[in-house]
Structures are given as structure tokens and as C-alpha cells.
């Protein structure tokens, strides 16, 4: 059986997992169930709770594909940890692309990428492993979204932007053309980014400035 025909197990049973499951159901992919450490969780959109993570490990890596249903609010650390844990044991993560997303045919899409409803990804862009382009986000031409980065709902990223590994761009933020967002950085919701953001920095506001700069200005 080729990889794209293998059944899917979703890791996580929260809101992000629910949205992913809905997209998978729209594309008629077979989902065996989901795993979550919260054993009391009910079925998700009619799909059963298989147990904790150990339930996924009862399936051989070449017999299933995984979907990372762990979301991220301001930090992508937990989501990346889940991906790394299973990848180290040779499990493969399926790409999930909602049928309503608009993705140029030239876009490079790595393993485990998730492109949600209404998102747009333009020509020349590259999406690294386990990255999310969330609901209604727009990624213009020639952007690089590195592994594990999260482009939250409603974000606008203009052409030629690079977003470093594990960075989080908050809901509704705008990043103008040619900007570099450093690895592990956080852009606050609604921010307007008009200059580069160093690695590991949190910026907020219009125009976006670092938390330390805003404190100094006071």
C-alpha cells in the first residue's frame, strides 16, 4: 500500500485536532481514531478515542500515517516535541490541505504540513515540516516558512518573507515584504511587522516592537 493510502491516526483530541479531522473527512481519508493523554475525552466528530500515545505505537510505522493535532498558542514547543517523538521512531506525518485552500503548484510542501480552510500560499514559497498555515492566512510569493512554524488564522505575510523554525505569528498579524522572522520568535496578534525580528524575540503592536523596547520606552 502506498503511503498516501495508509490510514491515519491523529495525535491530540482538542480544537486543532477537530479542525484537522474535519478536513480529512472532506477529502474522504480513512481515520482510525485519535490519541490523547486525557483519557476522558469523548469521540471527535464520530471518530473514536484510541487511548493515550501508547495506542499509536501499537501500529507499525509503515502501517499508518500520523497527523499532528497538537495546536500552539504563542509557543510551538509542545507541538514540535510531539512531532520529534514520533519521527524518531520512524513514523511519517501526513500533509493536510483543506479543499478550500489555494496553493500554487510550485509551492514546496514538506512532511506534516497543514494548510487550513481559506488559506492562500503563492508561487515560489516553501513550507517546512510540521508547519501550519492556519485558517484564512495568506502567504505571498517566495516566502520560506521553516519547520514547526505556526502562521495563525488571518495572518498576512507579504512576498519574500522568511519565518524561522518554531516561530509563531499571531492571529491577524501582518508582515511586510522581505522581513526575516527569527527562529523561535513570537509575533503578537494583530501586530504590524516592518523590520526584522531577532531569534527568540517577542514583538507586539503597530508597528511591532519587542517587549523589552516597549518597557524601556516607558
3-state secondary structure at position 211: helix
Of 90, 141, 148, 168, the catalytic one is: 141
Residues 6+ apart with CB under 8 A from 58: none
Grid cell, residue 143, equals 516566502
Interatomic CA distance for residues 137 and 150, integer angstroms? 10
Instruction: Say whether 141 is catalytic.
Output: yes
CB 194 within 8 A of CB 211: no
Cell of residue 53, nine digits? 500515545
Q: Does residue 160 sit in helix, strand or coil?
A: coil
CA-to-CA dists, residue 100 to 17, 35, 96, 119, angstroms: 18, 27, 12, 8
Residues acting as catalytic residues: 141
Amino acid at each position: 500500500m502506498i503511503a498516501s493510502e495508509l490510514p491515519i491516526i491523529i495525535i491530540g483530541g482538542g480544537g486543532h485536532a477537530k479542525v484537522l479531522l474535519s478536513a480529512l473527512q472532506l477529502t474522504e481519508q480513512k481515520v482510525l481514531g485519535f490519541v490523547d493523554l486525557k483519557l476522558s475525552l469523548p469521540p471527535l466528530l464520530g471518530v473514536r478515542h484510541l487511548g493515550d500515545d501508547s495506542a499509536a505505537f501499537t501500529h507499525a510505522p509503515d502501517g499508518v500515517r500520523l497527523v499532528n493535532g497538537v495546536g500552539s498558542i504563542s509557543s510551538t514547543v509542545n507541538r514540535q516535541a510531539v512531532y520529534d517523538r514520533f519521527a524518531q521512531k520512524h513514523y511519517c506525518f501526513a500533509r493536510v490541505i483543506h479543499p478550500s485552500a489555494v496553493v500554487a503548484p510550485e509551492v514546496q510542501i514538506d512532511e506534516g504540513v497543514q494548510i487550513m480552510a481559506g488559506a492562500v500560499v503563492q508561487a515560489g514559497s516553501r513550507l517546512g515540516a510540521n508547519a501550519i498555515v492556519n485558517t484564512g492566512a495568506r502567504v505571498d510569493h517566495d516566502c520560506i516558512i521553516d519547520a514547526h512554524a505556526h502562521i495563525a488564522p488571518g495572518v498576512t505575510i507579504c512576498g519574500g518573507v522568511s519565518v524561522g523554525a518554531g516561530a509563531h505569528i499571531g492571529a491577524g498579524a501582518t508582515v511586510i515584504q522581505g522581513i526575516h522572522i527569527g527562529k523561535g520568535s513570537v509575533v503578537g496578534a494583530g501586530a504590524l511587522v516592518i523590520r526584522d525580528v531577532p531569534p527568540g524575540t517577542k514583538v507586539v503592536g503597530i508597528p511591532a516592537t519587542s517587549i523589552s523596547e516597549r518597557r524601556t520606552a516607558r
